[in-house]
Amino acid sequence: MAIITKIQVQKQSKERYNVYIDKSLGEEYGFSVDEYTLAKYGLRKGMEIDELELASILYDEEVRKAYLQAVSYLSYQMRTRQEVEDYLRKKEVGSAIIAEAVSKLLQEGNINDREYAFAYVRTQSNVGRKGPQVIRRELSAKGIAEDVIINSLHEYPFEKQIRNAVELCEKKGKTYKNISAVQMKKKLEEMLVRKGYTSSVIAITLQEVKIENESDEEWEAVLYQGQKYHEKYKKHDNWTYAMKMKQSLYRKGFSMELIERVINELREEE
């Protein structure tokens, strides 16, 4: 049995208190608590506490510390239950204490995986223009249950997916210069796959997107590529030159008609 001899506010934190107890050798520091724990147990000078009560106080104090750490972590942005648990685990908080702290946060609504998932889908579809498959993987990695993910993706209808995919292609297409229409289409398709769009959305999108490298633009592209390969192969004999030019430009996605035309034009310039 120990008797509390003094309770003193900490100098560095006005919300924490040092509790001193009477020992056989006189008064000495016992433990520290925050004002919540102080009030919960009614700690005061002259109060007697046994070992069981002390263990309970110290355990609750650890839960309180973990809870406040999590509240601070949540103050920056919404987090999932798994993210909070992982954060506390990195802080070397014990599993039992994490469970207690997280349970309190769930009861208070500070952690809500369903609200998180719906908000995440809205943000990633509106701002990041990510496809549903990438969003699904990211939510799953954050510990969101599959049924919650499925429901949250209802916030991202098919029409909006196509709209986002078209906008992405139109923006990205402007950066693709001096490549064939076939190559451009392939690159746009690869980009949409990486972004997480389904094959059905991609197919519709590529039908709607206007590929800029057509007619005059296509000719400018094959001429640009042709000039590079011409410099590389012009020292070969005519037959070898023509074969290497055709192979190289065909791999770039240009039609044989354009390839023949550019080879003839480059030869005339020699």
Tens of pLDDT, residues 204-257: 999 888 765 455 677 778 778 888 888 888 888 888 888 888 888 888 888 787
SS3 at position 37: helix
pLDDT, residue 216, reads 62
| 50 CB burial (10 A radius; 0-12, 13-18, 19+) | exposed
Contact of 213 with 184, CB cutoff 8 Å? yes
Is pLDDT above 50 for 202? Answer: yes
Q: Which residues contact 190 (CB under 8 A, 6 or more apart)?
A: none
Tens of pLDDT, residues 151-160: 999 999 999 9
Please tell me the number of Cα atoms within 13 Å of 170 on its side-chain side: 11
Q: Which domains does the chain have, with CATH numbers?
A: 2-108 (1.10.10.10), 113-155 (1.10.10), 158-208 (1.10.10), 216-269 (1.10.10)
Is pLDDT above 50 for 163? Answer: yes
Tens of pLDDT, residues 34-84: 888 899 889 888 888 888 988 999 999 999 999 999 999 999 999 999 999
pLDDT, residue 213, reads 47
pLDDT, residue 198, reads 96
Query: Mean per-residue pLDDT for 87-107?
Result: 96
Tens of pLDDT, residues 103-124: 999 999 999 999 999 999 999 9
